[in-house]
Amino acid sequence: MELLSGVTVGRVVISRHTLPAIRPVNHLIDEGWVVIRTRQDVSLVGSASVSGVVAYEADVLDPATWTGWSVTITGTASVVRATAELACYRGLLTRWVDGGGGADQVALISPGNVSGYRLVRTGPAST
């Protein structure tokens, strides 16, 4: 969670039509919860995502040295609906969109399962 707090960008993974879909989003960590802001066409909860379980990954990767880290959280996403809470998070989070407007949503991801690892180079192998 410390590593996650140090970056502002990650990728949320959901199931859409039984296929995995992935989107880059902006995040912040609030009392151990991962808070993200994304377009409403990304169905974080409901029928499109079984029981609202999502994965959230953030990493720092250096292709030049092949080092870095990756952290993945698997947890339940719940969409923020309280007006004041929503306004607060919207002020703190930047939304990334592919141009155009469209409604957005803020969701909290519970840190159900947190796993991570550091990456080290093994290089092209001869075997």
Q: Write down the residue that tokens 């969701």 correspond to.
A: 107
What CA–CA distances, in Å, run from 100 to 39, 55, 88, 95, 97? 11, 26, 23, 12, 7
Contacts of 123 (CB under 8 A, 6+ apart): 66
Q: Write down the residue that tokens 């929503």 correspond to.
A: 86
Q: Taking a C-beta distance cutoff of 8 angstroms, is the pair 39, 13 a contact?
A: no
CB nearer to its own copies: pick between 2 and 125: 125
List the interface residues with its own copies, window 57-76 (CB under 8 A). 57, 59, 61, 63, 66, 68, 70, 72, 74
Q: Is 14 in the site for its own copies (CB under 8 A)?
A: yes
- x/- mask, its own copies, residues 15-54, rule CB under 8 A, reads x--xxxxxxx-x-----------------------x--xx
Binding site for its own copies (CB under 8 A): 7-9, 11, 13-15, 18-24, 26, 50, 53-55, 57, 59, 61, 63, 66, 68, 70, 72, 74, 87, 90-99, 104, 117-127
